[in-house]
Chain A
Amino acid sequence: MSDHEHATATIADEGLIPTPILEPGHSYATVTDKISSIVLEKGVRKGWIFGFALSFALLMMLLYTLGYLVATGIGIWGNNVPVGWAFDIVNFVWWVGIGHAGTLISAVLLLLRQEWRTSINRFAEAMTLFAVACAGLFPLFHMGRVWCFYWLFPYPNTMGLWPQFRSPLMWDVFAVSTYASVSTLFWYVGLIPDLATLRDRTQNKFAKITFGMLSMGWRGSARHWHRYHVAYQLLAAIATPLVVSVHTVVSFDFAAGIVPGWHNTIFPPYFVAGAVFSGFAMVLTLAIPLRKWYGLEDFITAKHLDNMGKVALATGLIVAYGYMMEVFGGLYSGNMFEKYLVIDNRMLGAYAPAYWMLILCNIVTPQFLWSHKIRANPTALFIISIIINIGMWLERFVIVVTSLHADFLPSSWRMYYPTVWDFTTLIGSLGLFFTLLFLFVRVLPVISIFEMRELVEKTSSTNGNGHH
């Protein structure tokens, strides 16, 4: 049957040995035991303590920074007039973009029946949730009067005020809140059968009760699986347009304005492609150490790294096209402000080093991914994925700061310089992200156990899995 062969799809290029998406020799029991043993092992590993401690220290730095920020004001950052948006919005867009790959892997690859998503979708979806949590910090804290945040929501109030729904910033409120809640639901629903597995396998009384409550008494009933499967497919179908819409709405924060360099119709697809690009790079950054340190190479195989490298390359090419269209539009439009922006400002102006670094990181570096040997080398992929994420951060920096610091009227032009607090907020948000990830890896299954069992069943006739 064709779908049995599908799971061991081979890479025919360069005559290399075909690689499966699940190494042979696994059964339902072995995949269950391997993945759940990471959660159920007693104590903590030294490496985990070290990573968690480092992340937690950065999280404490974030906490201190945010406390100082709320107490003192936005002035501790380098934001000024005209550069009213700087690291705050750059970080917001960067984190939201990273989150998109998780949803893409969970939802879009499910609908496209790509079986290689199975071993990566759980931690990719967790990455999404934590990235959106980090992203959400920035619109919240960049407000100055953070305690008035609830004014953004439409609720009856004594001031007689209602939000202005024609603003992309309002659309953002709804888009990001929806994205955060739907991602949480999707992730939690996917976890329920695995929490039941952990409930049944753990010896620890406290863990048994906790997993028992969280799994809601799941017993694997066929009637339940039927509704579960339908709900899961529906959520995937709903999450797919959602993920496209969220970064489109984020791009509207810029595209709906008239600032040169922002008011571009290429922005929605360019931002969405950029989000998938940086998101897959982050998934690679997480998958490579994870599979090495926890011995998951049988589940996250060379095929997965190869496929993720290919997606990163493809989306990187779309992003490169976006850059070219920006330059073309600026020149072809005949608008002197646009032309000034794309040539004299971005390429030759005060922030030109950032622009050229960006081209190096986002256009030049991904070209290495054409090579099968590079895609087969985890170390190379790891380094490339980090460079891509740095490049994507720089892209948002260039978009925001170059356009704001020198727009229509030269008398309004002024340089922007980040302060140390800008950096502590950014690095601190990385601390929040990694703290949450380390906690996730310790207490929840990093790979979707029941979906791996399904994969064992599908591959059982072709490479000797399942039967024992």
Chain B
Amino acid sequence: MSAEYIAPDPVYGVIASFAEPEGLLRASNAAREAGFKRMDAFTPFPVHGIEEALGIPRTKLPLLVLACGIAGGLAGYLLQYYCAVIAYPLNIGGRPLHSWPAFIPVTFETTIIGAAFSAVLGMLAFNGLPTPYHPVFNAPEFGLASRDRFFLLIEARDKKFDAEETLRFLQQQSPLQASVVHR
């Protein structure tokens, strides 16, 4: 008895390239209205309006940053409390051991460190970076996505995907180029 091996679809999706962000936005809106859901765009800089056009949900990153900032602040404060009140109490000029005004600068800095690190590491983690390989790099002239071309990709796993139909749909959006992307 052997388990059946289901090979992944050799086609990753279809991709079209545009010279200007407006062309990409028109095509993305058209694709969303046509019912496609599994889409992505590849651009040399963030394009305004692309999130609505592709239906990208707002990220939860700010919540994470807030939580980690608060955690950092608490950690810094508790560290100082532990050191100054419990572990190594020193009588400095008769001031109380729990001298909270003096604890503020370090607490502030640890809040910042918590927030900043979580913003960067969270962004990378949510983006799934580093990703050494991705099928979209096989698309023709994809190197220009980091220069002056705007790409729209519709993935094969989209329910409405059909290699020829979807390719024809993209060609109707008057791109510079449209083709199939293989894995």
What are 29 A-B contacts with C-beta separation under 8 Å?
A: A27-B148, A161-B88, A162-B83, A170-B106, A181-B113, A181-B116, A182-B113, A188-B120, A189-B123, A193-B44, A216-B129, A217-B134, A219-B134, A222-B42, A222-B47, A222-B56, A223-B54, A225-B45, A225-B46, A225-B47, A226-B46, A228-B127, A230-B61, A235-B119, A238-B65, A238-B69, A242-B116, A245-B108, A245-B109
Question: Given A174-B105, A223-B40 in contact, is the A165-B127 Cβ separation under 8 Å?
Answer: no
Annotate A217-240 by CB proximity to B: 1 below 8 A, 0 otherwise.
111111111111111001100110
Asked if B44 contacts A32 (CB within 8 A), the reply is: yes
B169 within 8 A of A: no
A252 within 8 A of B: yes
A85 within 8 A of B: no
In the bound complex, what is the Cα–Cα distance between A242 and B146 (angstroms)?
A: 32
A442 within 8 A of B: no
**Which of the residues B21, B46, B113, B148 comes within 8 Å of A229, measured between beta carbons?**
B46
Question: In the complex, which residues of chain B have a beta carbon less than 8 angstroms from the beta carbon of A161?
Answer: 88
Binds B, one of A300-308, A341-349, A449-457: A449-457
* 10 pairs of A and B residues whose beta carbons are closest in the complex: A216-B130, A28-B148, A231-B123, A162-B88, A200-B143, A217-B131, A225-B46, A162-B83, A222-B41, A166-B102
Asked if A200 contacts B146 (CB within 8 A), the reply is: yes
A10 within 8 A of B: no
B79 within 8 A of A: yes
8 Å CB interface, A278-337 against B: none
Tier of interface size on chain B: 35 or more
In the bound complex, what is the Cα–Cα distance between A218 and B145 (angstroms)?
A: 10
Contacts A230-B62, A235-B120 supplied; 14 other A-B pairs, CB < 8 Å: A28-B44, A154-B79, A165-B80, A185-B116, A186-B116, A188-B120, A201-B143, A226-B46, A226-B59, A231-B119, A241-B112, A252-B105, A453-B148, A466-B20
Minimum CB–CB distance for A457 against chain B, Å? 7
Asked if B147 contacts A29 (CB within 8 A), the reply is: yes
Minimum CB–CB distance for A240 against chain B, Å? 10
Annotate B102-128 by CB proximity to A: 1 below 8 A, 0 otherwise.
110110111011011101101110110
Chain B interface residues (CB < 8 Å from chain A): 20-21, 40-47, 50-51, 54, 56, 58-59, 61-62, 65, 69, 76, 79-80, 83-84, 87-88, 90, 92, 95, 99, 102-103, 105-106, 108-110, 112-113, 115-117, 119-120, 122-124, 126-127, 129-134, 136-137, 142-148
A249 within 8 A of B: yes
Interface of B is mostly: helix
Asked if A227 contacts B105 (CB within 8 A), the reply is: no
Nearest-CB residue, chain B, relative to A451: B45
Interface residue count for A (Cβ, 8 Å)? Answer: 66
Interface of A is mostly: helix
Minimum CB–CB distance for A34 against chain B, Å? 12
Minimum CB–CB distance for A277 against chain B, Å? 23
Minimum CB–CB distance for B90 against chain A, Å? 6
Minimum CB–CB distance for A466 against chain B, Å? 7
**Which of the residues A222, A241, A454 comes within 8 Å of B50, measured between beta carbons?**
A222
Question: In the complex, which residues of chain A have a beta carbon less than 8 angstroms from the beta carbon of B113?
Answer: 178, 181-182
Question: In the complex, which residues of chain A have a beta carbon less than 8 angstroms from the beta carbon of B120?
Answer: 185, 188-189, 231, 235
Question: In the complex, which residues of chain A have a beta carbon less than 8 angstroms from the beta carbon of B50?
Answer: 222, 225
Asked if A234 contacts B115 (CB within 8 A), the reply is: yes
Asked if B103 contacts A220 (CB within 8 A), the reply is: no
Question: In the complex, which residues of chain A have a beta carbon less than 8 angstroms from the beta carbon of B108?
Answer: 241, 245
In the bound complex, what is the Cα–Cα distance between A168 and B134 (angstroms)?
A: 49
Question: In the complex, which residues of chain B have a beta carbon less than 8 angstroms from the beta carbon of A28?
Answer: 44, 147-148
Question: In the complex, which residues of chain A have a beta carbon less than 8 angstroms from the beta carbon of B109?
Answer: 171, 174-175, 177-178, 242, 245, 249
In the bound complex, what is the Cα–Cα distance between A129 and B102 (angstroms)?
A: 28
A163 within 8 A of B: yes
In the bound complex, what is the Cα–Cα distance between A166 and B91 (angstroms)?
A: 11
In the bound complex, what is the Cα–Cα distance between A220 and B44 (angstroms)?
A: 6
A120 within 8 A of B: no
Asked if A225 contacts B43 (CB within 8 A), the reply is: yes
Question: In the complex, which residues of chain A have a beta carbon less than 8 angstroms from the beta carbon of B56?
Answer: 222-223, 226
